[in-house]
Structure formats: C-alpha cells, structure tokens
Amino acid sequence: MMPKQFMKQFVLFAIFFFLFCGILCSGVSDSGAAEFRVDNEIQVEGSPEKITSTIFLLNGNFISLIDENGEITFFDSDRQIFTLLDPVLRIQTQLDAAETKKRVELLRQQVMTSPDLDPNTFNAFAVKPVFQSEYEEVSGTLALQSPWIDYLLVTHILADSEIVKQYFDSCDWVCYLHLRIDPRLTTMLVRLEINRILREKNRFASRISVSVFPKGKVPIAKPDKAQSSHKIILRLDHTDTKRIEQAKEFRRTFTMILFDEYQKKVAEKKKK
C-alpha cells in the first residue's frame, strides 16, 4: 500500500514542475544563462484551497517562495549549497548539496536491497519506477501509467540546451532536498524518473493531471486526483527584484543554526 501522506508528497513535488515555453530563449542572456519567474498553482481534488508558489531561476541558481510567510529556499549552484530560511522565526540553515544527493542515493540502495522490501508496495515501485508511456507528438500530450500513479502531462518543446540543463538540474536538486528533509517522501524518487523522461524528450509540462491509487490498482480502486498549472514570466519586473532582494537580505541577517535544530523549531511553529 501507499503511505497515507502521499497527497502531501504530491503537492511537494508538483509545486516544482515549472513551465518553459518555446519562446523561452528570449529570456536568455548572451552567456546562455537566464533569469525568469515561474508561477505555479496546484489543486487537490476535494480541497477548497489552491496552493501557489513562485520560483525564480537565476543563472543556474534558484530561489523558491511558497507564500508570504512560508519557507524560502536558495540553491547556490557554484557553491553547491542549499539555504533554508524561515521568515517568521528569522532563522536559517544550510545543507551541502553533494552530501544531500549522496544520502538520497544511499537511501535508494538501502531500500532496493532490503530483504524486508515487499515488491507489492509503493516503496518498491518508487525506488525503481517503471511507466507505460504514450506520447502524442502533435499535441505534446504525454500519458504515463503505472500500478500506483497515472500522469497526463501537456508539454512543450524547448530547443535551448543550456536552459534544458538548468531546468532539469534544478528539478532534480529540489527532489534531493525534500528527500533529505524527510526521507519518507519517496514520491520524490518517482519525480526523478519523470524528470529523466522529460529530459530525454526535451519536453516541459505546462499542465499536469495526476491520479493516485493509494492501495494500487485493485478492483474498484478510487484514485485521489490533483491538477497543476504552470506559467512562466520571461522578464523580471520591479516587484520581482524587490522580492529577490528581500530574500537575500533575510539570508544576510537571519540567525544561522544547525539543520536539526532548524527542523525542530519549524516543526514546533507549525504545531501552534
């Protein structure tokens, strides 16, 4: 069976499915780098609330803003460092990205080689996901099916190889980060496979529909469903610049603490 927290996991990884349209090259500098904003919206079926987020991709680095008081994530591609900031508690912490990736791949191997792993569970699927795929080239529609999760993605092609690399590298790093924060989020391993499929096809998703089967596709299985949409804004405006500078100011001034202490304080805040 699938862990009960799955829909929470879906929201976490769906939030980082960015849209890159075919005209994205107009936002690319002469050096091949790009600065732009991606707005994301996720709706889980049966929930009245929509979850929104903004991602700034800045020359290979990224800044993620979930909401006004939500956690801010920086990724410094040159230093290979994640910085997590909580604007309410005014604290921050850092994680080594290479070490984070190493931990995740070790976790994957441990699960795959565990003698206690039941092959008929979601975790067995997540560590080595396999999809049946059907791709309609004219419309860009990609359907992916498995015993646990089905995807229907509306995709767009992008020719610029540098942007392709920046985009999918950032998507992968997001997955590794969330698995480092909470190793139970094994859907991130599925997301890494989705990244690989789209990278190979050079496609980017603007709309995603997901059907999740918590008990697998057993008879009369009723799926949980969610949809997400993604819009790219190619030019950063004055408001964007102010938001980025504010986040950078937080990074300069917030108290730096160890990762475990940071997690504990944020968890305590959420309970209040």
In a domain, 116, yes or no: yes
195-251 confidence digits (pLDDT tens):
899 888 888 888 899 998 888 898 888 888 999 887 777 778 898 889 889 999 999
In a domain, 1, yes or no: no
Question: Between residues 60 and 257, which one has the greater pLDDT?
Answer: 257
Class of residue 221 by CB neighbours under 10 A (exposed 0-12, middle 13-18, buried 19+): exposed
123-140 confidence digits (pLDDT tens):
899 999 999 999 998 899
pTM of the model: 0.82
Class of residue 95 by CB neighbours under 10 A (exposed 0-12, middle 13-18, buried 19+): buried
In a domain, 94, yes or no: yes
Give the range of the structural domain holding residue 242, as residue numbers without chain letter.
6-271
In a domain, 37, yes or no: yes
Query: Strand, coil or helix: what is 222?
Result: coil
Number of domains in the chain: 1
